[in-house]
């Protein structure tokens, strides 16, 4: 009896949204695997799939995974379930690419599959361009110089915590804005950073929008928006 060679689980970082910001390696592996899996939101949207839709092949099997997108105690069973589904394919020797917006290990959902499957199956992570870096590029603002301290914050954090963090960094990015936008903007005003702060929605995608931060309508801020507070440019630095 021959033993079946196990399949490899690939976590592929797709980058921030522009399909061309996928890496050469991600592209090669994506096209080589028989199975492509990705998160599916409750309303059926598959944002990560839409980024690389043009690269997928009709003969590839697709698995849309309905992860819980909100904080809830019930999230573990769903991750267990989908890890189980992927495990069956891997055990049968099929390679799987899991699509990950941005970078697989920088926030996101891939980690929950990785933590469940990597002890049993060969796993490879293909890093990707983070929306952190892409947003600074689209805003045409250098983010960090020399020995700057750089901090990434979630807009979901309480105002007090955001305030403290922003007071002790040279440059920062605030992600996960959406309904948290107004709180974050008020914090930036309070700590005197509002004049340096820049705002971009859906950076690098065909729906990218750059709006002066004081003109943003807090009621219309998508989740995939970012505030960038670049390091202060000082000619003495170079």
Of the candidate residues 21, 87, 99, 184, the single one contacting a second copy (CB under 8 A): 21
For 183-228, give the DSSP string: HHHHHHHHTT-TTT-EEEESTTSTT-EE--GGG--GGG--SSEEEE
Backbone torsions φ then ψ of 155, nearest 5 degrees: -65, -15
In the structure encoding, which two tokens stand for residue 181, read together? Answer: 């936008």
For a second copy, the closer of residues 34 and 122 by Cβ is 122
Backbone torsions φ then ψ of 168, nearest 5 degrees: -125, 35
129 counts as binding a second copy under rule CB under 8 A: yes
Q: Which among 22-30, 81-89, 189-197, 217-225 is the span making contact with a second copy, rule CB under 8 A?
A: 22-30
Minimum distance of a second copy from residue 28's CB (angstroms): 7
In the structure encoding, which two tokens stand for residue 166, read together? Answer: 């922003």
CA angle, corner 140, sides to 134 and 141, nearest 5? 90
Query: What part of residues 61-80 is at the interface with a second copy (CB under 8 A)?
Result: 71, 75-76, 79
Contact residues toward a second copy (CB under 8 A) are 13, 15-16, 18-25, 27-28, 71, 75-76, 79, 103-107, 111-112, 114-115, 118, 123, 125-130, 133-134, 136-138, 140-154, 156-157, 161, 164-165, 168-169, 176, 204, 233, 235, 238
């Amino acid at each position: 009896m021959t033993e079946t060679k196990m399949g490899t689980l690939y976590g592929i970082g797709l980058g921030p949204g522009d399909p061309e910001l996928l890496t050469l390696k991600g592209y090669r592996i994506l096209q080589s695997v028989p199975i492509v899996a990705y998160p599916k939101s409750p309303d059926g949207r598959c944002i990560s799939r839409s980024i690389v839709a043009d690269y997928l092949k009709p003969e590839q099997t697709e698995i849309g995974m309905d992860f819980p997108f909100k904080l809830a105690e019930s999230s573990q069973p769903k991750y267990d379930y989908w890890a189980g589904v992927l495990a069956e394919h891997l055990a049968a020797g099929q390679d799987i690419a899991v699509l990950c917006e941005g970078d697989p290990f920088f926030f996101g959902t891939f980690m929950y599959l990785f933590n469940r499957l990597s002890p049993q199956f060969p796993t490879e992570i293909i890093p990707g361009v983070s929306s952190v870096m892409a947003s600074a590029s689209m805003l045409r603002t250098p983010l960090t110089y020399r020995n700057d301290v750089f901090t990434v914050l979630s807009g979901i954090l309480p105002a007090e915590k955001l305030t403290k963090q922003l007071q002790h960094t040279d440059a920062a990015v605030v992600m996960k804005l959406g309904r948290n936008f107004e709180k974050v903007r008020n914090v930036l005003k309070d700590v005197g950073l509002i004049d340096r702060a820049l705002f971009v929605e859906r950076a690098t995608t065909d729906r990218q929008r750059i709006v002066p931060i004081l003109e943003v309508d807090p009621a219309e801020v998508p989740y995939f928006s970012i505030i960038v507070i670049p390091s202060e440019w000082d000619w003495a630095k170079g």
